[in-house]
Amino acid sequence: MNKATAVPGNALLSPTDHALVLIDHQSQMAFATHTIDISALRNNVSLISKGAKGFKVPVVLTTVAEKSFSGPLFPELPAIFPGQPVFDRTSMNAWEDQGVIDEINRIGKQRLVIAGLWTSVCIVGPTLSAIEQGFEIYVITDACGDVSEEAHERAVTRMVQAGAVPITSVQYLLELQRDWARGETYDLTTGIAREHAGGYGVGIQYAKTMFGAQEGGH
């Protein structure tokens, strides 16, 4: 009989074990996205971006045909990551772009968390390619979107069948924090949640304002 021990599972994300790869959160791609409200998508992208920055997770930003077709990144991204290089590509599959691959290799993480537009094209491509090369891939499905529910769902199913792990934006943030006793990131996490985590964030605001409640004794 196995004995339980108070240690986290290896499958849980931590700030030091992965890089976040944000792919093609661009104007033209958003115009045809119908699986998630664009305001909600931008909110979720801001949430994970602020979480990654606050927890010092390495981040890769990439676009496709920025000048000729797809347009600029959502304005939140350069605001959160000022001066961060953006790797523009011609290939729909970021894993076929040497600049992106050089950056992935420079960062040196075997576990990647991916989000972007569209799920069925620019997320499936690098996900399946990276898995085949031995990388662990997590996909933040509510920071992705596609032209139809069918396209998005079939893409998620295909990636999961290949071994990718689907997660949500709030799940990503809370998995990085994981223990409210981690006081150095407590205010960061609850602050991002208050601003971007919908009803959960409003609940944190209410509890703190009305009766001074704080998770983890902070």
Catalytic residues, which ones? 122
Strand order in the sheet with 59-64: 86-89, 59-64, 19-23, 111-116, 136-140, 165-167
Angle of helix 169-177 relative to helix 38-54, nearest 10 degrees, comes to 20
Q: Are the CB atoms for 117 and 91 separated by under 8 Å?
A: no
Contact 141, 165 (CB under 8 A): no
What is the rounded radius of gyration, in angstroms, for the C-alpha atoms of the chain? 18
How far is it, in rounded angstroms, from Cα 90 to Cα 113? 22
Q: How far is Cα 43 from Cα 76, in angstroms, rounded to an integer?
A: 9
State the Cα–Cα distance between residues 131 and 8, nearest whole angstrom: 23
Which one-letter DSSP state was computed for residue 62?
A: E
CA–CA separation, 122 and 193 (whole Å): 28
